[in-house]
A and B are shown apart, each in its own frame.
Chain A
Amino acid sequence: MTNIGDTTSAGVARPEPTRRRLVGWGAAGASLAFGGAIFGSPLWRVAIAQAKPYKIGSVHSLTGPGAPVGKTALIGVQMAVDRINNAGGINGRKIELVVEDDETKPDVGRRKVEKLLVEDQIDAQVGGEISSICLACMPVYDDHQVVNMIGVCLDTTITTSKCNRYSFRPYDYAPAQAVAFAPYLVGKLGKKWHIIYADYAWGQSTRDAYAEQIKKNGGDVVGGTGIPIGTADMTPFLSKISGEFDGLFGIFFGADGVTLGNQAFDLGLTKKYKWAGDGAMCESTNLPGLGHKIDGFTGINRYVPVMDAPLDTPYHKAFFEEAVARLKKMDPSGPLPDRYVQSNYEAVNALKLGIEKSGFQGRDDTPKLIAALEGLEMKEGPDFPQGDKTLRKEDHQAFVREFIYEVKDGGYHIKDVVPKEKTIVPPACTFSA
């Protein structure tokens, strides 16, 4: 038996256990046990979490060549976040948006994503425009096990060969657009096509998707011209295009779309051949730079800023009017909203739906959030003014309705609407274990 008043091995006098002290120790122990039970319970975690907002990261190309797309994309994110916060947040918690600029560089993008995940401790991310940057950053979300809701990136491999359990694309991709557009191209415009494409990841994968579907529908692709992105004078390359075919199909975006539209018109190519292409060629933000030279162009897009059916809904009107007002503040020329505003707005709302459905509180609940997002059905309404969509479980790829339009007098005229069910392509993704 140790003598009372002995010192411990550390040489500290051990207090004498009087009755009062015993009662005090007992009370302290009980408090600790009670506190531990309360504070350690999931109920308490929820209560603590509800005191702070959801931290959502948003990476965009706000400077560099991708800035025209990134700036409009960010407006979509901000519109959705403001709307959610004004309505009281998600599950009573507001959203704190942490915006980063990837400077249109994959290495910078990756560094900014690391910063968001490690320093800012974001709960999820919504954003990303340039495919090469999205592809560079996807493994980082995988490493940190955080949901990455992509806003614009269109490279096919994002949800096929390079798919990732933590990354979701809540809008369309080239194979689905090709399935939707090819019957129209071959049936109504012409059988033989020459494809002019941006010679990098997105342009090449989109070219492959259209070539496959044009052939499946009885047409043929007789030639292709890949032009490096950022080429200011495309005329030497366009001058080579000649021969017997029916239509030219363009796959470019942003400033390159404007350059191609202008220079193909100047050489008479768009009069000699039918002129069609990916909707990115003549987004509403490109129309002022193209002027009358893009008249007659037939395109496909998930979103066109018109009030014609089926977009003549009160939710689309509300979305459109708010987007126009915000875009006007960013650009005095007052551009109409494009698919970059729309898909980022809806990506935030898809995340909101997933958080509500899963009861997501923070990163620990990411598996529950993923389970809620897989197979998520989004119904046309204020959150999804573009229309219904489904986020497929097998590859995290959404399917949406598509609009085929013709540009006339500087505006869009819807020629056909393809329901989402007619855009389905089989999944081609295997998630790593």
Chain B
Amino acid sequence: MNIPFDQFLIQTINGIVTGMILAMVASGLTLIFGIMDVVNFAHGELFMLGAYVGVLTLAATGNFWIALIAATLAIAVLGAVIYLTTLRPLIGRDPLTTILATFGVSLVLQNYALWQFGPVARKIEEPITGHFSLFYLEYPYYRLAIAVLAVAIIGGLWLFLKHGTYGIWIRATTQDRVMAQAMGIPVPWVLTAVFAIGAGMAAASGVLFGPLVGVNSQMGTSWVLRAFIVVVVGGMGSISGSIAAAIFISLLEAYASLWVSPAQAVIVSFVVLILTLLFRPTGLFVPTPK
């Protein structure tokens, strides 16, 4: 079956843009898992609450960029509070306890949002409203801007982890928690900061994605499910693996939609997940374990 070149190119752009949004959500999730061994089921709700803080700040200031920064900081603080009150007492116990705790937190946050903000979807106006002609479509600049911003934010995180003093602390804690503590690194605070950074990443993704969907209490659910797939396929704890997996899966889904129905196209990510778990459970985008 012949696929016109225009459709192929459009789906390539769609796959990369969606992949970068997904990568941003997944990188926060994988950062928390990689360093703390905590599977954060409340990540989608932090994404959603970030969008709500964005709505409130935007209404108060009228500036999208201030809303983006305010939401990131506010949810990072909330993430730190959640970690200190709920997860820190559970560190070192059966991993199942942290899974159950974050699941509980997700239910609390979701129902809090429904109670506090009500069921009506809210709007975040995008800061860039123009579009350009892409074959038979008008393609919004804002979608490209999201992809660029996601690259910038993830790139900033990578630089911070690679070269920043605190980034080195985080990497040292990941490699050997006991040795890091022996060297004077305040491990408990490093873990709190990591959870806060992961929460902030989720919030930033929520604000950036908000203009495309409308903000509601359920908006994090579908993203976080896909982010979990990305984290497993990319290799648990690997940020670069998550980015590659997010783009890979999004491109596969976008290309699949050229041949099959959307209902079948969205199955592709699950097929990739199953194949990964069967044949390369460490992840597709991490070096082969020796």
A residues near B (Cβ < 8 Å) are: 63-65, 67-69, 71-72, 199, 225-228, 230-237, 239-240, 242, 255, 258-259, 262-263, 266-269, 271, 285-286, 288-291, 330-333, 335
- Can you give 18 A-B contacts (C-beta < 8 A)? A63-B111, A65-B221, A67-B217, A67-B218, A71-B118, A226-B262, A231-B262, A233-B18, A233-B21, A236-B11, A236-B253, A239-B7, A255-B213, A263-B213, A268-B138, A286-B121, A291-B123, A335-B118
- A289–B262 CB distance below 8 A: no
Decide yes or no whether B10 CB sits under 8 A from chain A: yes
Closest to B256 in A: A236
Flag if B18 contacts A262 (CB, 8 Å).
no
Chain A residues within 8 Å of B216, by CB: 68, 255, 258, 289
A263-B212, A288-B123, A289-B215 as given contacts; A237 in contact with B118, CB under 8 Å: no
Q: Which residues of A sit under 8 angstroms from B211, Cβ to Cβ?
A: 262
For the complex with contacts A199-B261, A228-B263, A285-B121, 13 further pairs of A-B residues with Cβ separation under 8 Å are A63-B111, A64-B218, A68-B121, A226-B262, A226-B263, A227-B263, A231-B222, A233-B21, A266-B131, A289-B214, A331-B117, A331-B118, A332-B118
Contact between A242 and B117 (Cβ–Cβ < 8 Å)?
no
Number of A-B contacts (CB under 8 A): 145
Task: Given A67-B217, A233-B212, A267-B139, decide whether A289 and B121 contact each other with a Cβ distance below 8 A.
Answer: yes
Bound together, the chains give a CA A153 to CA B18 distance in angstroms of 33
The residues of B with any CB-CB pair to A shorter than 8 Å are 7, 10-11, 14-15, 17-18, 21, 110-111, 114, 117-123, 125, 131, 136-140, 142-143, 209, 211-219, 221-223, 253-254, 257-258, 261-263, 265-266
Q: What B residues does A69 contact at CB under 8 A? A: 119
Which residues does chain A contribute within 8 Å of B136, judged by CB atoms?
A: 242
A257 to B211, CA, bound (A): 14
Q: How far is the CA of A288 from the CA of B210 in the complex (A)?
A: 13
Closest to A225 in B: B262
Bound-state CA distance A267–B135 (Å) is: 11
Chain A residue numbers with a CB within 8 Å of B263 are 199, 226-228
Given known A235-B14, A236-B18, A268-B137, contact A255–B142 (CB-CB < 8 A): no
Q: Is the CB of B119 within 8 A of A331?
A: yes
Residues of A contacting B261 with CB < 8 Å? 199, 226
Contact of B14 among A67, A231, A239 (CB under 8 A): A239
**A288 close to B120 (CB less than 8 A):** yes
The answer for the CA separation of A65 and B218 in the assembled complex, in Å, is: 6
Nearest residue in B to A62 (C-beta to C-beta)? B114
Whole-angstrom CA separation of A331 from B122 in the bound complex: 11
A231 contact set on B, CB distance < 8 A: 222, 262, 266
A237-B265, A266-B143, A266-B212 known; A67 vs B138 contact (CB < 8 Å): no
CB closest chain-B residue, reference A69? B119
With a cutoff of 8 Å between Cβ atoms, the chain A residues found around residue B214 in the complex are 255, 258-259, 262, 286, 289-290
B-side contacts of A234, CB under 8 Å: 262
Least Cβ–Cβ distance between B226 and chain A, in angstroms:
8
Output the nearest chain A residue to B137 by Cβ-Cβ distance: A267
Nearest-Cβ distance from residue A227 to partner chain B, whole angstroms: 5
Complex CA gap A340/B213 in Å reads 22
B219 adjacent to A331 (CB under 8 Å): no
A232 and B213 form a contact (CB under 8 A) = yes
CA distance A228 to B11 in the complex (A): 18
Cα(A72)–Cα(B118), bound, Å: 10
Q: Is the CB of B131 within 8 A of A232?
A: no
Bound-complex Cα distance A259 to B266 (A)? 17
B217 touches A232 (CB 8 A): no
Please, which residue of chain B has its CB at the minimum distance from the CB of A232?
B222
Inter-chain contacts of A271 with B (CB < 8 A): 138
Considering the chains assembled together, what is the distance between the CA atoms of A263 and B131 in angstroms? 13
Distance A47 CA – B128 CA, assembled complex (angstroms): 70
B262 and A199: CB pair below 8 A? yes
Chain B residues positioned under 8 Å from A330 (CB to CB): 118-119
* Contact across chains for B137 and A255 when beta carbons are under 8 A apart: no
Q: Are B138 and A289 in contact (CB under 8 A)?
A: no
- Judge whether B119 and A67 touch: CB under 8 Å: yes
The answer to whether A235 touches B123 (Cβ under 8 A) is: no
A-side contacts of B21, CB under 8 Å: 233
A335 nearest in chain B by CB position:
B120
Q: Which residues of A contact B213 (CB under 8 A)?
A: 232, 255, 258-259, 262-263, 289
Looking at A233, A237, A289, A332, the one whose CB has the most chain B CB atoms below 10 A away is A233
Min distance, Cβ B55 to any Cβ of chain A, angstroms: 10
Cα–Cα, bound, A230→B262 (Å):
12
A262 to B125 CA separation, bound complex (whole angstroms): 11
Q: Which A residues touch B212, using CB under 8 A?
A: 233, 235, 259, 262-263, 266
A240 partner residues in chain B, CB cutoff 8 A: 7, 257-258
Contact of A285 among B18, B119, B209 (CB under 8 A): B119
Question: Residue among B131, B209, B263 with the most chain A CB within 10 A?
Answer: B263
Interface centre among B21, B131, B212, B254 (most CB of A within 10 A): B212
Query: Are A236 and B254 in contact, with the CB atoms below 8 A?
Result: yes
Q: Which residues of A contact B223 (CB under 8 A)?
A: 232
List the A side residues contacting B262 at CB < 8 Å: 199, 225-228, 231, 234, 236-237
Chain B minimum-CB-distance residue to A104: B218
